[in-house]
Amino acid sequence: MAQSPDTEVRAGLLERLEKGTVLGAEGYLFELERRGYLKSGPYVPEVVLDFPDAVRELHREFLRAGAEVMVAFTYYGHREKMRLIGREDDLEPLNRDALRLAREVASEGDALVAGNICNTWAYDKDDAERSGAVVRAMYEEQVGWAIEEGADLIIAETMDYLGEALIATEVVKAAGLPAVVTFASTSDITIDGVEFDEASKRLEDAGADVVGLNCSRGPGTMLPILERVRAAVSCHVAAQPVPYHTTPKEPTFVGLRAEDGSRAFPIALDPFTCTRFEMADFALAARDLGVGFIGICCGGAPHHVRSMAEALGREVPASRYSPDISLHPVLGENIQEKEKRLYNWE
């Protein structure tokens, strides 16, 4: 007997990973902030309720650029953050609407829908039992809404604590969905003091289907940690870096400094932005390391994702408009004749 459509879809992520690379795309917070729909500072995704068309459009741009997972924009859409901005009553509508928007656009292509939970700022490693119960309740309500709205998987991301990441893993697995659980490596170890390879192994042992890193580090400083994570686990590995030029001296984007010494994070990072070509190189390097789920985080935009998709050998809807510099009026192949005509060169 055929599986129900629901079951077929839910098996989708792991089936796709068995066959090859799965391309993700995130960065909704930064991109919608740049577009004027979201406030930097609190970074709460009120835009889901206030300007759903803006969210729909960005989903669509990522889909056209080759993203295979539409991530519901519930990042920081949890009780703690909604309380901070005085919109706790909107918590459930925001979560449900975000899932519906992601589903609507995913259906325009062949994409999966991911529910999204993240670091809560409520977890306290020195009071793990009490704070862990608060975190668990926050995750359970968000994952519950995501399941009711038909999520195919849950991405739990930007985790700073192994303890919090384990709670996320347990909640997602108890709900029966594939769990992608990734750490934001703001320092060389988790805040509760565990190396990322060891922490990733602990997540795998707890049932996570995909483990790895997202946010915080650019390609250059994420790849070495990914290599260690890859060696430590036997499950699939995910990598969603920020597209910024982080360095051994400043390995995370939070630490990047402008020439005058001022902090570039979070709204003056533009000079550090990776080109689409650099992100394409990252996609290939990650694939060659054995990373199966490759994406992008804060700062990412559709042009990055399209180049990553094309580097991985794909033609995507937006490839129709991929660059052809040979047709450029000045830089194209006829440049010499143009120069002659423009500048009266002989």
Least Cβ distance, residue 300 to Zn ion (angstroms): 8
Q: With respect to Zn ion, which residue has the nearer C-beta, 206 or 240? A: 240
Q: Token pair 């889901």 is at which residue? A: 48
Residue 31 vs 209, nearer CB to Zn ion:
31
CA distance 216 to 213: 9
Spacing of C-alpha 116 from chain mean position: 10
Q: Minimum distance from CB of 199 to Zn ion (Å)?
A: 18
Q: What's the rounded Cα separation, in Å, for the pair 123 and 267?
A: 26
User: Which parts of this chain interact with Zn ion (CB under 5 A)?
Assistant: 215, 297-298
Q: To the nearest whole angstrom, how small is the minimum distance from the Cβ of residue 242 to Zn ion?
A: 6
Radius of gyration of the chain (CA): 21
Give buried/exposed letters for 211-221 (b at 16+ CB in 10 A, else e): bbbbbbbbbbb
What are 236's strand-pairing partners?
Answer: 210
In whole angstroms, the minimum distance from the beta carbon of 297 to Zn ion comes to 3
- Complex with Zn ion: residue 63 or 215, whichever CB lies closer: 215
Is 234:203 a contact under the CB 8 Å cutoff?
no
CB nearer to Zn ion: give 22 or 215: 215
Nearest approach in angstroms of CB 27 to Zn ion is 7
Helix-strand-coil split of the chain, %, nearest 5: 50, 10, 40
Cα–Cα distance for residue pair 345/330, rounded to 1 Å: 14
Closer residue to Zn ion in complex, CB, 3/187: 187
